[in-house]
Structure 1
Amino acid sequence: MLAFSAISQQDEFSFDAVQYRQDVRVLASDKFGGRAPLSAGEALTLDYLVNSFKKIGLEPGYKGSYLQAVPLAEIRADVDMTLSIEGMTFSQGDQFTARTQRIVDQVELKNSELVFVGYGINAPEYAWDDYQGIDVKGKTVIVLVNDPGFATQDDGLFKGNAMTYYGRWTYKYEEAARQGAAGVFIVHETAPAAYGWGVVQNSNTGSKFTLIDDNNNMGQVGVMGWVQHDVAKQIFAKADLNYETLKLAASKPGFEAVDLNMKANLLLKNTLVMAESFNVVAKLPGSNKGDETLVMHAHWDHLGTKLDAQGNKQIFNGAVDNASGVAGVLALAKAFKAKADKMPFRRDILFTSFTAEETGLIGAQHFAQNPPVATKNIVAFLNIDGMNVNDGVDYILGYGQGVSELENYLKEASATLKRHVKADPRPQNGLMYRSDHFALAQQGVPGLLFMSLGDTDPDYIAHKYHKGQDDYDNTWSLGGVRQDLQLIGDILARLANDQAWPRWLEDSDFKARRAEDGR
């Protein structure tokens, strides 16, 4: 049973395990083809979600519609590209990946000078600038993944083992663009990246999607790439440099960028499709006339269908990531609508499911920039990105520490249900910055991430995450789903009837952005 103890210890809602299984089974079926944006699977997914919200009885949540159009460019890079550096040639997919977000037929690195800029970080608050003293305009930079805190395990450097946003690949590309670089190659290593090369390969080849700005994204860095660890060592050795030595030097304050005195060549040809994808937004009205809104969310997209090296079709069904989360949002929507029919909640609740999370939180970015209500009126954003489909546990994972007051809501709800908050066992993974809540955080809206992608299934990250093996399994016990939906429901119910506005705790751009809105 789902007991919303924030309202009443006796106020219970039933968890329909049969319906939950049906939702996951359908969304993660081969018929839906891996739910890629702009695919036939998207149309099936949108129809399923809209019909589900209609059946539950929720209102359209975006300007009179259940759908918010998200203008996208689908960019498919030619798989036959090669990366050439001083007589060395590397193959796409196995040794490197490259793509672009620029809306152009091709991008070329032509005799582009290579520069190693350490972690590629410019962070004044940490007195750190890897670009100090060097001009990389028109050049190609090689950067390390994660940040110096993880590399040194020094709690006094950045945030120690816990990744900051400066460690994320998205930041590396953003900063390189600000510096005027023509291309970026991030060196992949499994431990600091938090995933193997297969995840990089599957996530950066085939069709990729991007929002479109007024300048066809020409302000983005031209080539966004990764290279295998061994490839990086070969490149450095060709320059008569030792990769491991320079990597160590880059983790220490005062590091200075190193010109490799080598040039890179790459021709990246694109096939472009301009189209619209869609976010799904449904609304449960509150009694406060729309002045205060909560968002309960799970992204609907996954990686779609791809051909392997032998030309065989492989469907990435994304059952746990994130059909399980979408089914959870549907279950909560049904429960909350039943409660609201008896006594409306004070605040509006939007139940949402966005597109293109797997390609860089694109649907969430569009929603954050074009919300149905002003972001200053969004109290909090609760985000499910993978549920514990196995047996229940006596803890809930907490992502981030001392970030916002929502952590107190999580702690108190957990204690009521005789569970405890367990610190993120992999803070180096930077999960705070890798799901849709982050796009809203950038607009000042605090969020909570509910994610279980491996703590109860050690095999998941190694063999299922972003792989074809992430399929629905009828043997799932769903004990974890049942207890986590109860917990999430308690927090959502408390927030929905509360008058408080959860605040950011640590100084950050998020806190500053919220302050601009007077919150």
Structure 2
Amino acid sequence: MKHFILGAALTGLVSLPSFASMDNSLSAFTTSFDVTQYRNDVQTLASDAFGGRAPLSEGEQLTINYLEKSFREMGLQPAFGDSYLQPVPLAKITADQNMQLNIGGINFTNGSEFTARTQRISEKVTLDNSEVIFVGYGINAPEYGWNDYQGLDVKGKTVIVLVNDPGFATQDPKVFKGNAMTYYGRWTYKYEEAARQGAEAVFIVHETAPAAYGWNVVQNSNTGTKFTLVDANNNQGQVGVMGWVQHEVAQKLFAKAGMDFDMLKREAAKPHFKPIPLNLKAQLTLQNQIERAQSHNVAAILPGKTHPDEVVMMHAHWDHLGTVMEGGKPVIINGAVDNASGVAGVLALARYFKHQADKAPLARTLVFSSFTAEETGLIGAQHFAQHPIVPTKDIVAFLNIDGMNMNQGVDYILRYGEGVSELEAYLDKAAKAQGRTVKADPRPQNGLMFRSDHFALAQQGVPGLLFMSLGDTDPDYIAHKYHQGADDYDPNWTLGGVTQDLALMASMLKALANGADWPRWLESSDFKTKREQTGRD
């Protein structure tokens, strides 16, 4: 019942176009969609020639050239002055993968048992007999009455933390948000909070269910070359070692300390858990090769006629993981679904709206964008959010594709989050016009609200909506393809899901670009506060 009441409330808050006008938009896109061009875009971007589209690689140059050429041929204007490219200054950090972690006299093997990296601009980062402390979930959340660090000095020490948050562990809706992950459950938060507390190193204990992916994803995502933005202090304020350990490694360490890890894990999900020193010391040296270089965001503009300074954005990140080692052999991780499929979708929508605008210009400006280094922590999106083409208060909404349904169409569309922003009302109406239902995120514990580029813009107050269909329509995807070599282009894809989802997005974009309202945040959050401070409430 809550869902239906909420939907009615949302519809009353915003002025939306009629079902008939949305039907017209859906039909117009479906009729004009060039499936052959879409296939070609995905196949090209996900080809071995593009090398997995890693930032600062030859694959980046091929990718941004392809996008720039596509936008120019469409007749769209550059988004960054006279350029389609926004330079994103990065540091490229490559740690020597022969590193070895020793805790309490036990040696662990990089890749198979732990991963470790840094974002500090330092050629060497060392843990030298660093005291190890178990701090539960590593969360300081006053609004939930929770502080795992209370009364604890972790300056210069190594902390071991659990993945996700206590709500997932308890499945109690009164604890955080129950099964639905909050930002406190994300690995990015764990490192950020540990840095605020002064810790030198963090090791997150991996378990597949609360992490929402297997160890192979951790390994592929955290070994080899990584990228970071660089602050005025060369990132020295960040935690020195950003690590993960296997569940079995944690069990072994706690046993060495005379403790039962799994029992203490259950205790950590209870309020007022007290941190536990393991009386073990950690030793690790990261030897880093550091290069400074520029990666690039790519974006193009379709100017609005009556309110050109008001912007609606359609986005998909262009980068993926490049080449990694799997089974001792180099493997190109092409990221066909994640996220060549989304980039091709943005191109398809850009072509459609340019053709439509030649006949009937939109009121507001549409921006079609593709950012770098999403896979390393939303880096390109963070840079754009700090250096936007218009003030973020003038960005109406940010729609983001991060993996499309490449198979047959379905009678629903996924909604990530509930009661978060008025953009959900647009989604409800567009889905209804298609004869589809809106289905709640079946895996809210995965925290997808915080795992793609829309989150970086949300942190600046811009309402966003994620479109993702990775494991929902392909049950094999997360286990065997996500961030793995098997995420390749497949000529047998039917693309029925792509067609229907892009048509839905087209109808939402048209409604937002020809409307006058500013979708609001509904849920009390930093996002809402940030937006209200700009006067867009």
Distance in 2, matches of 1:126 and 1:291, equals 39
Select the residue among 415, 418, 428 that pairs with 1:398: 415
Percent identity reads 69
Match of 1:130 in 2: 148
What amino acid sits opposite 1:410 in the alignment?
Answer: L
Match of 1:176 in 2: 194
Please list, as runs of the form range in 1=range in 2, the aligned pairs for 1:296-445 lying within 5 A after superposition: 296-310=314-328, 312-445=329-462
Question: Displacement, 1:309?
Answer: 4.4
Secondary structure of the structure 2 residue equivalent to 1:290: strand
Aligned partners of 1:404 and 1:504 also within 8 Å:
yes
Secondary structure of the structure 1 residue equivalent to 2:430: helix
Aligned partners of 1:4 and 1:12 also within 8 Å:
no
Aligned partners of 1:391 and 1:477 also within 8 Å:
yes
Distance in 2, matches of 1:184 and 1:19, equals 45
> Is 1:253 aligned to 2:268, yes or no?
no
Secondary structure of the structure 2 residue equivalent to 1:176: helix
Aligned partners of 1:410 and 1:491 also within 8 Å:
yes
What amino acid sits opposite 1:41 in the alignment?
Answer: G
Distance in 2, matches of 1:276 and 1:289, equals 33
Q: Deviations over 1:121-179 (max 9, x none)?
A: 00000010000011101100000000000000000010000000000000000000000
What amino acid sits opposite 1:469 in the alignment?
Answer: A
Distance in 2, matches of 1:263 and 1:301, equals 38
Distance in 2, matches of 1:382 and 1:416, equals 19
> Is 1:144 aligned to 2:170, yes or no?
no
If the length of structure 2 is used for normalisation, what is the TM-score? 0.95
Distance in 1, matches of 2:27 and 2:302, equals 19
Match of 2:3 in 1: none
Aligned partners of 1:390 and 1:477 also within 8 Å:
yes
Distance in 1, matches of 2:492 and 2:252, equals 46
> Is 1:517 aligned to 2:534, yes or no?
yes
Please list, as runs of the form range in 1=range in 2, the aligned pairs for 1:175-214 lying within 5 A after superposition: 175-214=193-232
Question: Displacement, 1:260?
Answer: 1.1
What amino acid sits opposite 2:28 in the alignment?
Answer: E
Aligned partners of 2:317 and 2:339 also within 8 Å:
yes
Match of 2:126 in 1: 108
Aligned partners of 2:346 and 2:368 also within 8 Å:
yes
Select the residue among 68, 93, 96 that pairs with 2:111: 93
Aligned partners of 2:318 and 2:339 also within 8 Å:
yes
Match of 1:21 in 2: 39
Select the residue among 96, 104, 116 that pairs with 1:78: 96
Shifted more, 3-12 versus 438-447: the winner is 3-12
Question: Displacement, 1:12?
Answer: 1.1
Aligned partners of 1:396 and 1:421 also within 8 Å:
yes
Change (3 A) 1:10 1:306: closer
Distance in 2, matches of 1:343 and 1:399, equals 32
Match of 2:237 in 1: 219
Aligned partners of 1:307 and 1:313 also within 8 Å:
yes
Select the residue among 499, 503, 510 that pairs with 1:482: 499
What amino acid sits opposite 2:529 in the alignment?
Answer: A
Aligned partners of 2:25 and 2:507 also within 8 Å:
no
Aligned partners of 1:7 and 1:493 also within 8 Å:
no
Select the residue among 19, 28, 42 that pairs with 1:12: 28
Match of 2:261 in 1: 243
Distance in 2, matches of 1:281 and 1:7, equals 28
Secondary structure of the structure 2 residue equivalent to 1:292: strand
Change (3 A) 1:84 1:355: same
Question: Displacement, 1:6?
Answer: 3.0
Please, which runs of 5 or more residues in structure 2 have no aligned partner? 1-18
Distance in 1, matches of 2:458 and 2:240, equals 27
Distance in 1, matches of 2:60 and 2:86, equals 14
Change (3 A) 1:257 1:489: same
Distance in 1, matches of 2:476 and 2:22, equals 35
Aligned partners of 2:124 and 2:288 also within 8 Å:
yes
Change (3 A) 1:4 1:381: farther
Q: How many residues align?
A: 516
Question: Displacement, 1:291?
Answer: 2.4
Q: Deviations over 1:425-466 (max 9, x none)?
A: 110000000000000000000100000001111111100000
What amino acid sits opposite 1:331 in the alignment?
Answer: A
> Is 1:118 aligned to 2:136, yes or no?
yes
Select the residue among 73, 76, 82 that pairs with 1:64: 82
Distance in 2, matches of 1:7 and 1:415, equals 10
Match of 2:280 in 1: 262
Secondary structure of the structure 2 residue equivalent to 1:34: coil
Question: Displacement, 1:306?
Answer: 2.3
Please, which runs of 5 or more residues in structure 1 have no aligned partner? none
> Is 1:42 aligned to 2:60, yes or no?
yes
What amino acid sits opposite 1:6 in the alignment?
Answer: M
Question: Displacement, 1:4?
Answer: 9.4
What amino acid sits opposite 1:197 in the alignment?
Answer: W
Shifted more, 382-391 versus 288-297: the winner is 288-297
Distance in 1, matches of 2:28 and 2:251, equals 59
Q: Deviations over 1:59-82 (max 9, x none)?
A: 001122100000000000110101
Distance in 1, matches of 2:365 and 2:22, equals 17
Question: Displacement, 1:259?
Answer: 1.1
What amino acid sits opposite 1:80 in the alignment?
Answer: N
What amino acid sits opposite 2:386 in the alignment?
Answer: Q
What amino acid sits opposite 1:240 in the alignment?
Answer: G
> What value does the CA root-mean-square deviation take over the aligned residues?
1.2
Question: Displacement, 1:313?
Answer: 2.4
Question: Displacement, 1:308?
Answer: 3.5
Secondary structure of the structure 2 residue equivalent to 1:6: helix
